[in-house]
Amino acid sequence: MVELADIFRRYGPAYRARFGPHMLPSHLKAMRAIEQCRTPAFTEVPSTVWRQEWVMHCQPVGNGLNALKYLAPYIFRVAISNRRILKLEHDRVTFRYRASDTGTLRTCTLRAEEFIRRFLQHVLPRSFVKVRYYGFFSPGLRQRLAAIRRQLDTAAPTSDADYPASSAEAADAPPSLTPPQSFVRCPACGQAMRPRPLAHPERGQPP
């Protein structure tokens, strides 16, 4: 059976020699890690092991931090598994994939160099957060996320005088002084909300 590591061991050095100066450090690191991967012990496991039923053991894990630490590595799935790689012949890789429009299984044959290039597109830059399904990034909040992005794109006023008055003050103001509708008001107090740059949290390197 052809493994992903076999492709990178055979064609990885030539790929780095050609594109190395233009590659991201994370891509170079991923290539070396794949080339050093060895899985001979996995093939020695009897096939009957995978067909038997297992008893799952469950126990409390406290406040959830231990469970998060245990489950975190499993969210970083590899772009393609070894079982989807069908053959490696004449410097070409043939693999199986599922079409997103029909859901049917298809095969694709690429030059080894192009296969490596496509695989590296799934390797994220350092400190890039891969999981974005929570909060406003949830698929069910796409419309709200779009509204937030439009608000963040609003030009920031240059001085305090450029900010509109509150809702009560605006009602008493003459029509010529009515604040423009492009300002976003706080739904609680009615005051104009001032755009501020986002404060990016300091994150550690993903596992």
Confidence of residue 114 (pLDDT cuts 50, 70, 90): very high
Residue predicted with more confidence, 151 or 62: 151
Question: In which band, very low, low, confident or very high, does the pLDDT at 175 lie, cut at 50, 70 and 90?
Answer: very low
Residue 91 and residue 134 in contact, taking contact as beta carbons nearer than 8 Å: no
Q: For 6-15, 18-27, 71-80, 92-101, which range has the lowest pLDDT when averaged over its residues?
A: 71-80
Mean pLDDT of the region 33-49: 75
Q: Determine the pLDDT at residue 147.
A: 85
Between 165 and 77, the higher pLDDT residue: 77
**Burial readout 86-102 (b: 16 or more C-beta within 10 A, e: otherwise):** eebeeeebbbeeeeeee
What integer pLDDT is reported at residue 178 of this predicted model? Answer: 43
pLDDT value of position 166: 45
pLDDT higher than 70, residue 198: no
For the ranges 17-26, 144-153, 157-166, the one whose mean pLDDT is highest: 17-26
The closest of 194, 198, 197 to 158, measured between CA atoms, is: 194
Q: What is the pTM of this model?
A: 0.49
